[in-house]
Each structure stands twice: as structure tokens, then as C-alpha cells.
Structure 1
Amino acid sequence: MVITLFIVITGVFFIVRLVPGDPLASMARNLPEQIKLNFYAKYGLDKPLIHQYFSYIKELLQGNLGESLVYTGRTVTHIIEIAAPVSARINLQALGFGVGSGLLLGLIAASKKNKWPDYLVMFIAVAGVSVPSFVMATSLQYYFTVKFKLLPTIGYTPGWDGFKYTILPTIALSFSSIAIYARYFRASVLDVLSQDYILTARAKGISGFRMAWYHVGKNALLPVITILGPQIAGIFIGSFVIESIFSIPGFGQIYVEAINNRDFTMILGQTILLNGLYIVSLFVVDLVYGLVDPRIKIFKKRG
């Protein structure tokens, strides 16, 4: 995990410096030459690139993500602490709604195989994968805000903390998740239902609820858990477009601004957070396997 994160940090550090443009060029354009040099010296941009790299790694090992090049006087950590909870709220709501709805639809489709509920769920799944998130977001804005005036169209208002401001972004962000989990869970449930131990359980007269939960549900969840871990981090990346459309002052909007402004330290700080979350989520998935399926053991028994 540590090696992977180190490779990502190193790669992003050098890649962002290959992008044309200078983060301080526009800020120091009309200033005297000496003051420009002072700006570059303050942020270490006057030193060789390899020296900048080792200086950044040294600060990073001390827990310092550096100071933003665009938001003068504000550290990357402080900006992330403000923006990350906003994105986390939207993304966790979307993930919970998407997983719950997807599992329910997948179970319905599997139990009504080759009947109209199955066809309806598969249509929703195909639409969820095919329709881009920005199309879904603008459609929701038009119908629920412009046409019917039921919900606010943007999230950045004085009363943003109200739940109603998060409904449309949550639905727009969770639509693809619903489609993915419905398809995976349907296929997984159908595979489990064809196993011999299911036929044995039915022959023993096990009730429908116990059958669905203990024999079908747990075993069918393994493929779902596999894609759940990466999606926890991936959904933050997917929210960049949604946050821009709904004007949500979250992680995604700041990330896009950092790229446009060539804010190197901000890009690196947010990339470290996203990749760290992604790597940890994969590790947690491996641990959860052992809890869901007793056949999978994390630790070897002694003796």
C-alpha cells in the first residue's frame, strides 16, 4: 500500500509539471522583477525540479501537504478539511442510495427472471450505464426545478445544510451505481440459485426468508463487495462534474480549479487523499471477504 502510494505521488509530481503554464505567472505579471523572484523563491519554484521533489517528500513525511499556490496563505490541509466533508456527505448519500436500490432491484430481477420486472430492471441498468451523469443532472434540474419547482437547482446557498439541497445531486450521482449493482447482484443471485446446496436447502424445507438471507444473500454479495471498495473512492472522482453543475463547494470543484490554475500543491494533496482512500478501500474489501464468506480466511490458524 505504501509503495503504491509513493509511486503515485512521484508520478503525479512530475506529470503536473509537464503541463504548460505557470501557477504564479498571472499573479506576478505586473509586479517588479525582484518581487517575482521572491514569489518563486518562497514556493521553491526557482530550484531544480529534482530538488523540489525531495523537498516535497521531506515535508510530506512530516505530515505537511504544503501551501496552496493560488489561495495565498492557506494550506492544502485546511482547504481539504473544509471541502471534503461537503463532498463526503453527497457521495455517501449517493453510495448508500445506489447500493440499497441496486441490490433491491437486482434481487427483484433475479426472482422474476425473464418476466416484465426483470426486463424493466435491465432497462434501468442499461440506461444508468449509458446516460452520462451531466445529462442526468441537467434533466433533474429542468424537471424538478424549472418545470415543477419542487427542489432547489443549486447547492451553494445560505441554507445549503438543508437536506433538500442534496436530493438532486444525490440522485444524479447514484443513478449509475444503481445500474451497476442491479446488474451484478442479479447475475450473482442467479448463479447462487443454481448451486447444489440451494437445491438441498429447498429439499429440507427451509423458509423463503432464511433461504434468501443465509444461503442466497451472503454468497451473492461477494461480487458486489468487490466493486464496492473501489467505488467508494471512485465516486468522489465521479462527483466532479455533478459538483460543478450544482455549484456545490466540495472536493471536486476545488480539484478542477486547482488543475485549471496549475496549483501544484493542491493537485498533489487531493491526489494523495483520493489514492490513499482507494488503496485502503481495497484492503478493507479483502478483510470483509472473510466476514461474509467463512470459507475465506484472513489469518492462518496455528497448531
Structure 2
Amino acid sequence: MFAFVLRRLLVAIPTIIVITAVAFFMMKVAPGGPFDLERPMPEEIRERLLAEYGLDQPVWKQYIDYMAGLVQGDFGPSLKFLDKDVAELIGEGLPVSLMIGALAMLVAVVLGTFLGAIAALRQNTSGDFAVMSFAMIGVSIPPLVMGPILALVLGVYMGIFPTGGLNYSRFGLSVLVLPVITLALPQIAIIARLMRASMIEVIRSNYIRTARAKGLSASAVIIRHALRAAVLPLVSYLGPASAAVISGSLVIERVFQLPGMGAYFVDAALQRDYTLVMGVVVVYASLIIILNLVADVIYSILNPRVSYDS
């Protein structure tokens, strides 16, 4: 297991290099720059600013200088937030993004697993059809559309939840409800469908019939035998699901005015804050790689037939 984890971490290094290279050169190709203002800037001031941040150098030289700093843990200064560097901005936004993403995944796994199991155990009944109908709706409506709808209905019209900001002193944890639900709904739908299909396959398998023939109760067969085998495909999906939640939070944090990394990323992209965009890309890419690795490790623990030692 240790050798497998080490190999995956070593492979992650060139992956990060490729991701940063693609993101860096794509930003340089995009029109505009961090010092393009509505009013013209004197050319001598513009040249001094470009020289101050090394933007007057060739693009390949800028990339090498950035990677040299990144290896030392230096994300560089922000080009728009002049009183803070990129590491400080990420330190402020990352906890918010992680909290929202973790809560959304927790809700999605718990509800999706429960609904999928219920649908499988009551196959071709009204309960099964209701769960699958909900799953189709959840998959069809993206978070970018669902977020404003929930904010409008539950926030503006009904006044149940706040629609934006992170004011704990006034609203408490209720400020997290709408963004968490928005991120969780598509994953609940997908997990429910995966769990239903996996559960149906498991309960029809030979060892489940054998367990029932031995006189075990229905609840014991489901909880002790069927569930453990049925969640294996779900565990494999946790890595991509976490990546989907992370990428979805980029927009949701903007919709609900949350001070997370997603909001910083959108603002930085619009304002051509190159260093902040790169910092967020590196952190998100690292999180996705780590979460996929964790999912693989958990899968091997739950399924003894899988071994990563060789």
C-alpha cells in the first residue's frame, strides 16, 4: 500500500506541471492584462508595473520563474489585492470552500446511499419510481441553474434561508444551507442511481441467497452483507464526485457571495490576476489528486480482493 501511494504521489508531480503549464499559457493567450484600466495609464507607469511583477519578460521565462517560486511554496503576490499575497488569499478562502464541499459530499453520500438502497429494495414500486424521477431531475438541472432557483424560492419569496454572504453572527449555520443543497443535489441523484443499480446486482448474487438460506434475518443480510458490497462502486465514484463538487463550488460561491476560493478565482480570471488564478488552479488540482488517491485507498480497504502492493 505504501508503495502504491508513493507511486501515485510521484505521478502527481508531472500532472501538476502539465496543469500549471496549460493554465499559465492559456491565461497569457487571453486578451487583456492586469493593468488594463478603463482610463488610459501613462506608458512609463505601465512599464514600471510590468517590470515590478516580471511581466515584461518572455512568457517562457515568466513560467520558469513562477515554477521556481512554486517549488519553494511561494505563490507570488496578487496583482489586484495589493495588500495581500496569493498564499494569504488562499488561506482565507480555502477553509470556506472545503467546509461547503465537505458538507455537500456528506449530505450527498448519506441521502444518495439511503435513497438508492430504498429504491433497490422496492424495485418497480412507486417508491422506486419516485427516487428515480428525483434522480433524473437532479442530474438534468445543473447547479448554476438550481442555485438561483433555490435562492429565489427559499430565500426571497419564502424567506426561510439567507441568500448570500457568510454572516454567522446574524444567521448562524443557515447561511450554508442553500449552497450545500445546490452542490449536493446532483451528487445525491447520481449516487442514488449508482447505489440502486449496485444494490440490485448484489441482492441477486449467490452469496446473498446463501445467507438467506442459512436463516439470517432480512435486515442482517442487507446490513451485514449486501450494503458492504454495494457501496464499492460508490467508493470508486467518490474521487470524481469530489472533483465535481470542487469545480461546481467555483460558480456557487459566486452565486451565493461566499468568500471562498471559487469567488477569488472568478474575480481573478476577470481581472487577469495571473498569480491568484494560478494559485487557485494548483490548489484545486492538488485536492482532486489527493481525493482520488484517498478513494482508491478506501476501496482497497473495503474490498480485500484488490491489492495495490504489486
Same fold (TM over 0.5): yes
2:163 maps to 1:153: yes
1:77 maps to which of 87, 91, 100: 87
2:30 maps to 1:19: yes
Alpha-carbon separation, structure 2, partners of 1:72 and 1:130: 41
Change in Cα spacing, 1:24 to 1:150, as seen in structure 2 (3 Å) is: same
2:295 maps to which of 280, 285, 288: 285
- Does the Cα contact within 8 Å between 2:243 and 2:288 map onto a contact in 1? yes
User: Which stretch shifts more, 201-210 or 265-274?
Assistant: 201-210
- Does the Cα contact within 8 Å between 1:155 and 1:166 map onto a contact in 2? no
Partner amino acid for 2:48? N
- Does the Cα contact within 8 Å between 1:124 and 1:179 map onto a contact in 2? yes
In the alignment of these two chains, the number of paired residues is 299
Give the Å deviation of 1:97.
0.7
User: Which stretch shifts more, 175-184 or 142-151?
Assistant: 142-151
User: Which stretch shifts more, 173-182 or 240-249?
Assistant: 240-249
Give the Å deviation of 1:282.
1.6
User: What's 2:140 paired with?
Assistant: 130
Alpha-carbon separation, structure 1, partners of 2:196 and 2:67: 46
Of Structure 1 and Structure 2, which has the larger fraction of its residues in helix? 2
Give the Å deviation of 1:187.
0.3
Give the Å deviation of 1:285.
1.7
The sequence identity of aligned pairs, in percent, is 36
Give the Å deviation of 1:161.
7.1
Alpha-carbon separation, structure 2, partners of 1:20 and 1:33: 18
Alpha-carbon separation, structure 2, partners of 1:20 and 1:159: 42
Partner amino acid for 1:118? D
User: What's 2:226 paired with?
Assistant: 216
User: Which stretch shifts more, 114-123 or 195-204?
Assistant: 195-204
Alpha-carbon separation, structure 2, partners of 1:207 and 1:219: 18
- Cα offsets for 1:73-93 (capped at 9, x unmatched): 311110011011112212211
**When the two structures are superposed, what TM-score results if normalisation uses the length of structure 1?**
0.93
User: What's 2:3 paired with?
Assistant: none
User: What's 1:272 paired with?
Assistant: 282
**When the two structures are superposed, what TM-score results if normalisation uses the length of structure 2?**
0.91
Partner amino acid for 1:15? M
- Cα offsets for 1:153-174 (capped at 9, x unmatched): 2224473671111111111211
Alpha-carbon separation, structure 1, partners of 2:153 and 2:57: 54
RMSD (CA atoms): 1.7
- Does the Cα contact within 8 Å between 2:162 and 2:171 map onto a contact in 1? no
- Secondary structure of the residue aligned to 1:137 is helix
1:183 maps to which of 186, 193, 198: 193
1:139 maps to which of 125, 134, 149: 149
